[in-house]
């Protein structure tokens, strides 16, 4: 594969001297050069372990696809909002080649409302089905201005607009019965070394070819990203995306993986 000349605008934030590609961190390891992501770049080998598609996951696209995007997200994170829009576009164009798995990772130290919003999505899924889950989460991402500024009364209002029974939704929200699932997702992400949102791990059915490795290296070089924020594991079966990587990069990544 020829070298790619890709210059893409990526939102960046500064946190304790760290430059991140549109990613919110949970407050752990943000001093100087001690973040989890930076430590990983010094390792001689690199691997990451997360579950493949499992019961209870929310999935768009083809579940048996050779390329599976597993995203850990926080509904009050502005970069998650941007990445959500990007992934919707990607799935609409590559629904036969990819699956997009949405998993919760609300960071309460930054966004106190995010866990409640995550719970609302699970209530909608329980009461109205998978399609309404996606309709609901899309609407909430569209109307939120992020960073805990969403009026929480809009959760019930939006659910009602999607024909979710009002009383049942209120009862579900009061019960907190889906919080265990959300906590499990958070712990799963932490166990994999994930500390920020959005974070996506791309699971590959077949190991990536050298051209994909070259593509990732080129993007990191041209955007000046810390290597771990966009990287591939040693066995070439998983790709780590730490942040709101733009559509043009993801689009070319999928094309490179499909060669």
155-194 per-position pLDDT tens digit: 999 999 999 999 999 999 999 999 999 999 999 999 999 9
Assigned CATH topology for domain 13-258: Glutaredoxin (3.40.30)
Map tokens 């992400």 to a residue: 189
Q: Per residue in 8-39, is it b (16+ CB within 10 Å) or e — as a string?
A: eebebbebeebebbbbbbbeebbeeeebbbbe
- C-alpha to C-alpha distance for 163 and 54, rounded to whole angstroms: 27
Residue 165 to residue 176: CA distance in whole angstroms:
17
pTM comes to 0.84
Q: What is the pLDDT of residues 200-219, one digit of tens each?
A: 999 999 999 999 999 999 99
Q: What CA–CA distance (Å, rounded) separates 76 from 80?
A: 8
Contact in structure between 232 and 239 (CB atoms under 8 Å): yes
Evaluate if residue 31 carries a pLDDT over 50: no
């Amino acid at each position: 594969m020829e070298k790619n000349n890709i210059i893409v605008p990526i939102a960046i934030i500064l946190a304790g001297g760290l430059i991140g590609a549109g990613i919110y961190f949970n407050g752990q390891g943000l001093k100087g050069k001690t973040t989890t992501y930076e430590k990983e770049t010094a390792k001689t080998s690199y691997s990451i372990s997360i579950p493949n598609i499992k019961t209870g996951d929310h999935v768009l696209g083809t579940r048996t696809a050779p390329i599976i995007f597993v995203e850990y997200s926080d509904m009050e994170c502005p970069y998650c909002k941007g990445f959500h829009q990007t992934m919707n576009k990607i799935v609409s164009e590559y629904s036969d080649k990819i699956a997009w798995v949405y998993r919760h990772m609300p960071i309460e130290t930054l966004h106190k409302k995010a866990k409640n919003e995550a719970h609302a999505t699970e209530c909608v899924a329980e009461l109205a089905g998978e399609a309404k889950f996606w309709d609901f989460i899309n609407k909430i991402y569209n109307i939120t201005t992020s960073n805990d500024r969403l009026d929480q009364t809009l959760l019930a209002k939006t659910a009602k607009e999607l024909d979710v029974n009002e009383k049942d939704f209120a009862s579900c929200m009061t019960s907190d019965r889906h919080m265990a699932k959300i906590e499990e997702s958070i712990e799963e992400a932490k166990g994999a070394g994930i500390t920020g949102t959005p974070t996506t791990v791309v699971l590959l059915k077949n190991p990536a070819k050298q051209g994909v490795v070259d593509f990732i290296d080129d993007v990191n070089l041209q955007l000046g990203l810390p290597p771990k924020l966009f990287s591939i594991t040693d066995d070439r079966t998983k790709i780590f995306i730490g942040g709101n990587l733009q559509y043009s990069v993801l689009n070319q990544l999928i094309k490179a993986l499909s060669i």
